[in-house]
A and B are shown apart, each in its own frame.
Chain A
Amino acid sequence: MGSLLEVKALTKAYDGKQVVRGINFSVQEGEILGYIGPNGAGKSTTIKMIIDVEKKDNGEIFYCGEKIGNIMKVYKKAIGVVPQEIAIYEDISAYDNVKFFCSLYGHKGDDLKERVKEALEFTGLWEHRKGLPAKFSGGMKRRLNIACSIAHSPKLLFMDEPTAGIDPQSRKHIMESIKILNARGTTIVYVSHYMEEIEALCNRIIIMDHGEIIEDMEKSQLKLKFEKLGCKNLEDIFLRLTGTALRDGEE
């Protein structure tokens, strides 16, 4: 298994403030990569640059060894993204939401219908397919946000805090779904603040802080390395590496 995605010397500044500082990492085919860091570390910005939503200041991104700029159409069809902020139309049905976004990938007819059904069943929303998302609970919206991102069967899926603010039931459902997706061959980059989720899901973990990658290691190795320093779990390791100071709009 080789690198599916490779990020080299990626940088981004907003209004003169460096948010991502020349980071390098790669995503291996078939893995679930945990991408963690305190609020404002630059995780979402990194992902937005990788998915071509935000312009990068510098650096290169390669998909299957090719610069994404050269294979944009193929690349865009191959990726899926669950955005941190719920991105759905509240005024059309759950079914229409998934159908619309999936159709942007060129699917139509029976193939499209089949995909929409599968994504809605997968996220436990099939019974609510006719409902308007405006009337959905937070957990249902989060699951619809996922359904809209997976119906076209992406090879590489970015999930930016897909479980923020939902109950344990929905969370458990989403966790199970991610494992199934991965078993079916989807490579996943998983951003979260829930260390238990990262522990349960990921093979490898990247820790980002102040726009830099401060650790990039197999989960087992990471735990081994910090066990000697008295860190019992991932949360201990995270706090040891990033400190305990609050990150409220710091410069």
Chain B
Amino acid sequence: MISKKKRTPQLAVIGGGPAGLGAALAASKAGIDDIVMIERDIELGGILPQCIHDGFGSKVFKEVLTGPQYAQRYIDEIARTNVEVLLNTMVLELASNRTITAVNSAEGMITIEPKAVVLAMGCRERSRHQVFIPGYRPAGVITAGAAQRDINIEGLMPGRKIVILGSGDIGLIMARRFTLEGAQVEGVYEIMDHPGGLPRNIVQCCYDYDIPLLLSHTVTFIHGKKRVEGVTVAHVDADLKAVKDTECFIDCDTLVLSVGLIPENEISKHAGVTLDPVTAGPIVDERMETTVDGIFACGNVVNVFDLVDYVTRTSEVAGRGAAEYVLAGRKREAPVRVLPGRNVKYVVPQFVSDLGRDIDFYFRVEHPERAVTARVLAGTSPVKSKKHKMVHPPEMLTATATAADIAEAAKAEGRQVDSLLVEVVDSGK
């Protein structure tokens, strides 16, 4: 079973979800025809096949698609290219010289030595261990994404009486999904004083089905030894500490956790890619190239985007960047840093290698705020600014600075741009 065949493609894409599909397709369109895409599942699409609800594609396609429909468009297009797709294949290791070691049951160990790599592994869910809920360890505690897979792909019902902890979009979507499948959702509990998911999901998933959404609440205890028999919930104070005398017991057989996503970067770390401690994803430049030459990253491996449309956009930038790297090579200039300013938690990309290009910035605010202007500055000169009536942490903000915008700001500054600042300020200022 040991495969002697060594592949030496121009590009290897690790992951066949929306990021990998977009990157492979963009690289193929940019003139690379020797591409290998590696996917561990039995089919392409990543998480999209289980996201059966609609709401995908409003930016990329100007249509409202379901997750499977969105994936199908890319899968169909990939089928028309020469991209070699390796399904059921697990990447074990990526070395900093870009050598990939992977394994599958048909070929055994596989070695791939590509000229460039795109990291497109997506993200994973935070689990109970990362939120520290006291209590027993019964069956019936499940992450929202795992519940989604059970119901939408496997046809299994994880439970009948459900409590959801965390109001991220997947948790909200699952509140509706459980209800439509005949389960009773007792409530969605959110520790923060603002919801984690988009307002539209609160309307169409909670309000439409009279599912209570309780802010500033958390689960303080999980009851039941073999199977979940209930949870204790409590109000939390301003320091997010549970207030003892507000505790109450809720009868349920399942606790669904929707407590956040983390970029999946085990493979990246080994390759020597530098990670950003805030996003937990690789630090990238305007072409989504990491700190290791020839290794690009896109989608939720870089930071958790709230829209698949943004995953696709960054993957297209990475795919084109990788194609350019392979076909033309490039030397990176001294990096210009991109810094988060007032009420900005982080910005992607974290640095710019070439200011002579159009650059898409993606950033998130730290706290909700009304009547603000989000702007990109070079020194004190504005490059780009946009007013917002309201900004919330779950909603990613974007700005595109063209090469001309940056050149103009540099001219106004009267010197070379050595860093860029992204900030959100009161619109009055």
Q: Do A and B come from one complex?
A: no
Binding site for A on B (CB under 8 A): none
